[in-house]
Structure 1
Amino acid sequence: MIATMEIVDILDKSEAIGQMVLQSDIKLAYDKAKHTVETDETAQQLISRFNKIKELYDDVERFGRYHPDYSKIMKEIREAKRDMDMHESIANYKQVETQFQQFLDEISEIIAFSVSQNIKVPKDGALLKDGGCGCGSGSGGCGCRAS
């Protein structure tokens, strides 16, 4: 592909947008929350416990209710997840992570819609928000909506 001045200009502007995102307050808050979780010994223990139980859960999931330890593992995975999610630094990290994802989704939408209103922009949680397939269309006109 031959690089035209228009393509070079687009690349320069996209690099500038990337730098603005990296220097944004929400990105800095995300990095701080992530570092807090990574250095929080209790949080790491809770995450490790959850991951160990999740391995057992994956095995149980293959057999479903017929697995001999189904009830025990299901209870343990719910307790481990609750304990992990309720820990202050992990809860804060998840909240900031969601805000950062929404920020990135908004940027993607602005860029896409500046080209055309017909562009489908995938979004985190679009399946739950739009009731569609996750493509972000929300209209069902894309042909992927389950009836």
Structure 2
Amino acid sequence: MLATIERVLILDKAEEISNMILQSEIAEKYFRCIYKIKTNRETQDKIRNFVKVKEQYEDVQRFGKYHPDYSAIMKKVRDIKREMDLDENIAQFRRIETEIQSLLDEISVIVGHSVSQQIKVPTGNPFFESTSCGGGCGSGGGCGCSA
């Protein structure tokens, strides 16, 4: 691959954008949330419990409703997941994760459309559906886009 001035400039801009994202307030919040999750003993216990029960759930899924512990494991998985989801650190992390994903989607749309308005940017966010395909291009045209 030949390195042209244009490619070097594009790579420099991409690195500049990534550094701006990493130094943004939302990225800072994201990394703080990860730190809280990793250092909070209660949160870690909930995550460990969920992982343990999830392994049982996967074992039950091989046999489906015919597994002798199907009902008990399914109820246990729902209860433990609800407990984990209600943990303040995890709930906060999920909110921030959604915010940072929206930021990345917005940047993707801006970059894609700066190249060409015809570029379909799979964001998966209904907000961007008017400016992109909304993430359905992998469905063989099922999203209605003209890709």
TM-score of the pair, normalised by structure 2: 0.86
> What corresponds to 2:66 in structure 1?
66
- Aligned positions of 1:1-147 closer than 5 A: 1-123=1-123, 126=124, 129=126, 137-138=133-134, 143-145=140-142
Q: Report the residue type matching 1:110 in the other structure.
A: I
Q: Which runs of 4+ in 1 moved over 3 A?
A: 138-144
Q: Report the residue type matching 1:143 in the other structure.
A: G
> How far did 1:122 drift?
2.0
CA RMSD of aligned residues (A): 2.4
1:79-120 residue CA offsets vs partner (Å, 9 max, x unmatched):
000000001111101111111111111111110111112212
Q: Report the residue type matching 1:19 in the other structure.
A: N
State the alpha-carbon separation in 1 of the partners of residues 90 and 134 from structure 2.
Answer: 31
2:64 and 2:70 in contact (8 A); partners too? yes
Query: CA 1:140–1:87 in structure 2 vs 1: closer, same or farther (change >3 Å)?
Result: closer
State the alpha-carbon separation in 2 of the partners of residues 140 and 39 from structure 1.
Answer: 38
Q: Any unmatched runs of 5+ in structure 2?
A: none
1:109-137 residue CA offsets vs partner (Å, 9 max, x unmatched):
110111112212122xx2x849x9xxx61
> How far did 1:140 drift?
6.7
Query: CA 1:3–1:140 in structure 2 vs 1: closer, same or farther (change >3 Å)?
Result: closer
State the alpha-carbon separation in 2 of the partners of residues 14 and 76 from structure 1.
Answer: 46
In the alignment of these two chains, the number of paired residues is 140
2:136 and 2:142 in contact (8 A); partners too? yes
Query: CA 1:140–1:45 in structure 2 vs 1: closer, same or farther (change >3 Å)?
Result: closer
> How far did 1:144 drift?
3.5
TM-score of the pair, normalised by structure 1: 0.86
Q: Any unmatched runs of 5+ in structure 1?
A: none
> How far did 1:78 drift?
0.2
State the alpha-carbon separation in 2 of the partners of residues 105 and 28 from structure 1.
Answer: 18
